[in-house]
Structure 1
Amino acid sequence: MKVGLYFGTFNPIHIGHLAIANYMLEYAGIDKLWFVVSPQNPFKNKKHLLQDYHRLQLVNQAIDDDFRFAASSIEFNLPKPSYTIDTLTYMHEKYPQHDFWLIVGSDNLDSFHKWKNYEELLANYNILVYPRPGFQGSEWLNHPHVHLVDAPLMEISASFIRKAIKEGRDIRHFVPQKTWKYLTEMNFYK
């Protein structure tokens, strides 16, 4: 079974994430998609990051009963910061029956050469790339394991969501309904 791994802090998850995930399932040839909630991205500031459990809960509420999706906390118990190659190696050992495909935004290609053991990633895993606004292409697209997916451009971001909530704006339609309820009940990002 081809399983797409969509890594992210999901701080918070929003409709853009879900639209991209849905597109990958319908058009990129994967059978299931796991949202891998990252406790710490080595390239991101942890300052505004909700606790791991809360972000996992937001993802679980967002995907609700869609059997094609799963939320994964697998990185919570791995050494930090989280490196994709370490997580994939662990997942491959734990789930050898799955063919894991990495899902990344095109903005990640600019720093891909800085990823831990990126050569090993390229050699052993297929990478599905969704375009981000302003994407002009990359040398990595010439690699046989890197596949640009012609997904719709999503300009919504988690930082936009956090800023809007802090400003007291009603952005309930930018996140799934259950996620919005949890965010407002917990007073996150205010």
Structure 2
Amino acid sequence: MVFTGLPPAAPGQRIGLYGGSFNPAHLGHRHVSLTALRRLALDKVWWLVTPGNPLKDRGALAPLAERAAEAARVAADPRIAVTTIEAALQLRYTRETLRHLRARRPDLRFVWIMGADSLATFHRWRGFREIAALMPIAVVDRPGFTLRALQGPGAQAMGRARIPERDSAALAGMRAPAWVFLHGPRSPLSSTELRQTGPSPRPRGCGDG
């Protein structure tokens, strides 16, 4: 199921927000989400399928409805909800989305989730310092990006707000700025490669979280 607005959530729940083009969605996205659910003690993860990433070529984008439907197929977990709310509200930048979600659901405890590859370019996002101040951030390691991400301008700018990995389960209850870098098993999948080789295989089950 794909939501065009906010997915349902009970007051007080801990919600991970995972945004991207999902062009296409793949098992690497699912791996990041299941890692976040487990390590951050989250109740749900919302996949925010964006109309387009300002830092990427929109000419290579599949239609939004197609990307969202494929994301829902790949997610294959009742704890992961797919939404196209950014398109419905005509939100272009992450900071706008986070402002809206905090205003609409102040009763939820949000965590922004990103891969280490995104952290490596985080300083190029519009208002990245504001994003870090809006809600806690969890960064999940990706192959080839560990050192580059941690040594990049974005990580350096947030350096003093980094918490020990052993405290990751408490992140959702912390006041921003606060962030954690999660090491562990990493997925080598990327959307760029999958656009060239074909779609992701169907998940075998939901027990790997």
| TM-score clears 0.5 | yes
1:153 and 2:153 aligned: no
Task: Flag as ranges the 4+ runs of structure 1 deviating above 6 A.
Answer: none
1:96 to 2:103 alignment: no
Distance in structure 1 (CA, Å) of the matches to 2:51 and 2:201: 21
* TM-score in terms of structure 1 length: 0.81
Q: For 1:140-183, what per-residue CA distance to the aligned partner results, in whole angstroms no more than 9, with x for missing partners?
A: 56242121012322111111111113xxxxxx6x43269xxxxx
Structure 1 residue 163 and structure 2 residue 196: aligned? Answer: yes
- Aligned amino acid, residue 102 of structure 1: W
> Cα–Cα, structure 1 residues 32 and 177, in superposed 2: closer, same or farther, change >3 Å?
closer
**3-state secondary structure, aligned to 1:41:** coil
Among candidates 134, 138, 159, match of residue 142 of structure 1: 159
Change (3 A) 1:110 1:16: closer
Report the number of matched residues. 169
Q: CA deviation at 1:132?
A: 1.8
Distance 2:202 2:54 in 1: 28
Q: Secondary structure of the residue that 1:47 maps to in structure 2?
A: helix
- What SS does the corresponding residue of 1:175 show, helix, strand or coil? coil
CA contact (8 A) 2:27 2:203 kept: no
Instruction: Give the secondary structure class of the aligned counterpart of 1:62.
Output: helix
Which sits farther off after the overlay, 111-120 or 149-158? 111-120
What secondary structure, in the 3-state scheme, does the structure 2 residue paired with 1:154 have? coil
Residue of structure 1 equivalent to 2:171? none
Unmatched runs of 5 consecutive residues or more in structure 1? 166-171, 179-190
% identical aligned pairs: 30
Work out whether 1:121 is the aligned partner of 2:150.
Answer: no
Q: Is the 8 A contact 1:14 1:176 kept in 2?
A: no
Structure 2: 5+ residue stretches without partners: 1-12, 162-177, 205-209
Contact 2:111–2:138 (8 Å) recurs in 1: yes
CA distance in 1 between partners of 2:158 and 2:188 (Å):
22
